[in-house]
Amino acid sequence: MHVLLPTTALATVLAVSAPLAFAPAQQAASPHQWRGTVAQGSAIEIKGVNGDVKAMPSTGAEVEVSVVMRGRRSNPADVRIDVVPHSDGVTICAVYPSPDSRPNECLPGEGGRMNTRDNDVNVAFTVRVPPGVRFIGRTVNGDVSADGLSAPVSVTTVNGDATFSTSAYGEAVSVNGSVRGSMGNAQWTDRLELRSVNGSITVDLPADTSAEVKAATVNGSISTDFPMTVTGKVNPRRLTATIGGGGRGLDLETVNGSIILRKR
């Protein structure tokens, strides 16, 4: 998956207004909170394993993160929430007890290690994101959603739905779930990906979008509200086509599901 490009001027990227750790859980359903200031153009990244990640707009200038942990057999107090500031913002992770000699670790992006073998603690994140702050949400077992944001978004899950709406643009990936994205700005610079394996893909784009679209499904159909210039043979399940003046890349791919492009 492509990483959404940060904006420039990230020299003073973070001002933290709380300790860089959550207090340990005192009981199974106790909530915990963190607040911090992330510079516009930088990212708040949430990395979970078992549990939903939900983002929404903030009414203030700070990022607000609330966490609720629940366990059936395992103890929520054994799960640590780490807050890691870095040059591109802040990464917050649910860090489970390490099941072997290799420690679990919270690091930005694809870094770190999250092995949760034999641990059933569910960690649900709710994030309030200020204007201009990018959001990155990742989990394994759960839905990831980001609604009504104003900067680039990237949402990823394995078993769950990946959905977003933003006045900017975004990416979404799921393996076993639907993917839905609504973009208000068609001015992205890198290729965008919306992908699933077992799920449909629905994308809402501005009416004035110009893009080079590659769409493919194995068991499903492709439909679009946009006039397209198709390159090569017309295939109901695979196409390479141009919307408007082309230029920007948009990749849409699933195995079991349909692909729908709609005008906002």
Q: What is the phi-psi region of residue 179: left when phi exceeds 0, alpha when psi lies from -120 to 50, beta otherwise? A: beta
d(CA 14, CA 158): 30
- Taking only the tens place, the pLDDT of each residue in 131-179 is 999 999 999 999 999 999 999 999 999 999 999 999 999 999 999 999 9
Q: Which residue has the tokens 């939900």?
A: 54
**Minimum mean pLDDT among 52-56, 72-76, 146-150, 253-257: which range?**
72-76
pLDDT at 14 over 70: no
Taking the C-alpha atoms of residue 237 and residue 208, their distance in angstroms, rounded to an integer, is 25
Closest CA to 53 of 114, 147, 139, 159: 139
> At which residue do the structure tokens 């309030």 appear?
128
Per-residue pLDDT, 131: 96
Which residue from 250, 238, 244, 145 is spatially nearest to 194, judged by alpha carbons? 250
Answer yes or no: is 250 within a domain. Answer: no
The string of DSSP codes covering 246-264 is --EEEEEE-SBS-EEEEE-
pTM of the model: 0.87
**pLDDT of res. 31:** 62
In a domain, 125, yes or no: yes
Q: Is residue 243 part of a domain?
A: no
Amino acid at 218: V
Residues in CB range of 11: below 8 A, 6 or more apart? none
Question: Does residue 13 fall inside a structural domain?
Answer: no
Nearest to 141 by CA among 153, 128, 124, 159: 159
Q: How far apart are CA 203 and CA 83, in angstroms?
A: 32
Assess if residue 55 is contained within a domain: yes
Domain boundaries, position 86: 29-133
184 within a domain of the structure (yes/no): no
pLDDT tens track for 17-69:
333 444 443 333 446 889 999 999 999 999 999 999 999 999 899 999 999 99
Query: Domain total for the chain?
Result: 1
pLDDT tens-digit series, residues 182-212: 999 888 999 999 999 999 999 999 999 999 9
Instruction: Decide if 76 is inside a domain.
Output: yes
CA nearest to 63, candidates 78, 85, 79: 85
Q: What is the pLDDT of residue 7?
A: 32
Asked if residue 229 belongs to a domain, the reply is: no
CA distance 260 to 26: 46
Q: What are 227's two structure tokens?
A: 């006039």
